Amino acid sequence: MDSLPFLGYGLGLRSQHWDDVLQQMPTDVDWFEIISENFMSTQGYARQVLGKVRESYPVAMHGVSLSVGSADSLDKDYLSQLRALANWLQPAWVSDHICWTGINHINTHDLLPVPYTEDALAQMVSKVVQVQDYLGRQILLENPSNYMEFSANSMTEWDFICQLLKKTDCLLLLDVNNIYVTCFNHNLCPKTYIDAIPAERIGQIHLAGHEHHGSHILDTHDAAVSAEVLDLYAYTVKTKGMKNTMIEWDSQIPPFSEMQRELERVKQVNVEVPLVDFSSQRVVQKKLASESSYSQLMNDFQSCVLNNEQPGSWIDNKPDFTAQDQVNVYQRAYRQRLFNAIIEDYQNTRKAMGEDQFDLLLRTYIEHNPSKYPSLDPYIRGYAEFVAAHSNEHAETAATEAMTSELLDKPQVQAATLHDLVNAGAENFLKLNLNLVPAAALRPRMIFVADKAQVYRQEVTKEEYQALSHIIQADCLENALQLMYEDDLCSADTALNTVQEILTAFIPLGVFRICAV
């Protein structure tokens, strides 16, 4: 199958820029790319934004948890959610990575390198075919940045990729920054890599910023595209033709206007530039032989990452980028990614507990509880239970923060207004059945409601909490009044006034919906 049609230049659709995109509907951005996992399990405001964007732009789905390189079988629940999202969104294309994220049903939430062997290729081919058959569409797979080289490798990365593309009829999401990073880290020539890839198999190109660490480069997605990567992109365009191009920027995300300027910078690349060749700059050490199986290599590598173990001879040791240094990149990235994600959602708990105590408990959670989910959200929310088991004093704060995060994934439906209650008529008022909207929650001292990308809270008294609870639990206001009377929240004479006061105070917050009349 031929490559995809050229749609132009795109950006990642990140929550920091939702308002800018919806308000401006920028004409200098041709399409957007989403992280699939961020939208697969939510019915909240994020879905509403995506639906509105899709009405005006092509949208591509880019996943990080397909894990077609794992020795584990494919995750059927994940595939089902992925297909459901694709069927709803009707994306321009669906992509993921030539990698694995874990084995034995663990997800490290990292793009781990595969051994470039015939065994690994055969198993990945089988999985890609299964995925394409299940989704009913051709997919794109991205070359990830690579910081570790298996000594068992029997072919180059580009040879492995070319065979994978040919045997599965999938397309390549060519990440030019990742090529630059990988080639520097492993003494390779970027030009040779690009030259080997068939132009017709390139469906999309990624560009991103990176961070230089002397012995190696990290693909960080937290800065502008470097001049060297732009030069490599120019060479790619010159030799392979114009391809759908998108800038990834996922950390320290700048204002949307800066992203637009960066996109314009990419459009103006000079296609007549010399290229660097890392293969001639550093010493390449002869690889050691390895008898380990595909699955054993994965078990060894994952064990190194999760348990901070030292690597064995199954990693290619380099004089200026040792096997231990290679593994350290993944060990640090695994912990830091989980640590940062959880801190972001538990800021109040961290403040109440104290940073030192919170951070120590969090590191314990990470070390002893590896994630088993394609999305980070369940793992992050699970930390509240861990806090409750180890620090009862702060359990309520942690549970509240986990709950507020979960509210953002609930559907944000039209809430009832005071006008709606008036329109129901006096004769129907007591027959109204009121309940909380899906994105609201009532707690003994607080009521919460998600509105767009924020969760708002309102303090409630003990009496208000009891009255609200009765309104929610009863099948009509008349029965709620009876429960309030029995709880001594009102007298028979004041019952109607009491419920009217409660509704007048809380209906404007957007927390109620009318279920039936």
Decide if pLDDT at 484 tops 70: yes
Return the beta strands (E) in 67-148 as ranges: 94-97, 139-142
Q: Which CATH architecture has domain 9-280?
A: Alpha-Beta Barrel (3.20)
Q: What is the CATH number of domain 418-516?
A: 3.90.930.60
Q: Is the CB of residue 124 less than 8 Å from the CB of residue 68?
A: yes
Q: What is the pTM of this model?
A: 0.93
**What are the tens digits of pLDDT across the range 32-72?**
999 999 999 999 999 999 999 999 999 999 999 999 999 99
Q: Per residue, what are the HEC states of 18-41?
A: HHHHHHHCCCCCCEEEEECHHHHC
Q: Is the CB of residue 29 less than 8 Å from the CB of residue 57?
A: yes
The CA distance from 418 to 429, in Å, is 12
355 exposed, middle or buried (CB, 10 Å; 0-12, 13-18, 19+)? exposed
pLDDT, residue 286, reads 40
**What are the tens digits of pLDDT across the range 155-191?**
999 999 999 999 999 999 999 999 999 999 999 999 9
Min mean pLDDT across 47-51, 237-241, 282-286, 421-425 is at 282-286
Q: What are the residue ranges of CATH 3.90.930.60 in the chain? A: 418-516
Q: What are the residue ranges of CATH 3.20.20.150 in the chain? A: 9-280
Residues paired with 443 in a beta bridge:
446
% the chain with pLDDT above 70:
95
* Token pair listed for 276: 């660097």
